[in-house]
Amino acid sequence: MSPTTPAAVVLLGAQRFDPTLGDAVAEIGVTGRIGTITAGWQERESEDEDLALHLDGRTVNLKLHARGEAVFRADPELRQAHRERQALLRHRREFYRIRLEQELEAERVIRARSATPPELAAEQAQASVDALRALDRAHLASCARSRAEFEHRLALAERPEVARQRKELADLAAGCRAFAIAGGHVATLLNRFALFDVAALLRGKPVFAWSGGAMVLSDRVVLFHDHPPQGPGAAEVLEAGLGLVPDVVFLPQPEERLDVAQTERVAGLVRRFAPARCIALPARSRVAWRGGRFVAADGAIELAADGSHGTFQPRARVGT
């Protein structure tokens, strides 16, 4: 195991109504205090009584959202720069969505053509997939450049309040035997993780994550919802994640967000993000990652390139 990675990562289904975190913690054999990260809940970050009770009171909330607000109050220059960066990212995302909608529509039209010679149809279908992948890569790269430029220009680690909060977090983390990362607002999680270098806190210890918390541990965060209130939505890349579990697209709460009956949409999702595996995490599911590979799974679902789906098997892809 590399000293820069967690001892193990366990990805879980949603925990709100049918929690399984306690069982997963016991199975790994974690004893002692567990650091909890609920920053994705934003202003409700401290409303973690149920989570603490579920873990027998062995928790300490790292309060990353509140710490971030404290940093911005103490450092108006950083607060203003952060707001400007967030506004720029929103504009960047709008342009990305415009291009994404056009590429997805082109792919749909091309795949629907029936009078095309098979070889040409396959060639053009692949060209559509390649165009989508190129668009996603370009968007990820631009977001990464924006974050790196922001952190360099503001000398983030050297700012007094950031350094103070990071030191407090390091001291808290030193007394934790594992960490549990809840979901919520994914962009907030990503921002707080970067602000406080949370990846460094996780090194060498087991990490449990669910919903948005699971999403941010992959190398790219993909937002998806087949039935949002405003109408059918296109899956879109938000930003790079921590990369602790690479080459995977995690799809939490598929019961609410993913219509596996729409086989063409499923197939398109898998083709677009291949060779990464698309893994859905329904309630009571569990996937374990250790030593650079998946080592166990229970109840998770893997999507296949032909639009089908099946039980996720750590060592074999569905449909192969």
Nearest CA-CA partner of 209 in 70, 53, 6:
6
Interaxial angle between packed helices 76-112 and 64-74, expressed in degrees from 0 to 180 and rounded to the nearest 10: 130
pLDDT at site 2:
43
What strands lie across the sheet with 207-210, from one edge to the other? 59-61, 34-37, 178-181, 207-210, 9-12, 286-290, 293-298
- 261, with CB counted inside 10 A (0-12, 13-18, 19+), is exposed
Distance CA 232, CA 132 (A): 18
Q: What is the reported pLDDT for 1? A: 36
Find tokens 């406080």 and name the residue: 196
pLDDT at 318 over 80: no
Output 114 or 220, whichever has higher pLDDT.
Answer: 220
* H or E segment and range at residue 293: strand 293-298
Residue of 7 and 166 predicted with greater confidence: 166
Tens-digit pLDDT profile for residues 105-152: 999 898 888 767 888 988 999 999 999 999 999 999 999 999 999 999
pLDDT attached to residue 295? 94
**pLDDT tens digits, residue range 168-199?**
999 999 999 999 999 999 999 999 999 999 99
127 CB-near residues (< 8 Å, 6+ apart): none
| Section 13-40 average pLDDT | 94
Predicted structure pTM score: 0.93
pLDDT tens string 226-266: 877 666 678 999 999 999 999 999 999 999 999 999 999 99
The mean pLDDT of the chain is: 93
Sorted by sequence, the CB contacts under 8 Å of residue 265 that are 6+ apart come out as 226, 259, 307
Residue with tokens 């998770």: 300
Going by DSSP bridges, is the β-strand pair 309-311/293-298 parallel, antiparallel, or unpaired? unpaired
For residue 232, the model assigns a pLDDT of 61
Does residue 222 register a pLDDT over 50? yes
**How many C-beta neighbours within 10 Å does residue 152 have?**
9
Q: What is the mean pLDDT of residues 284-313?
A: 95
- CA 286 to CA 299: how far, in whole Å? 6
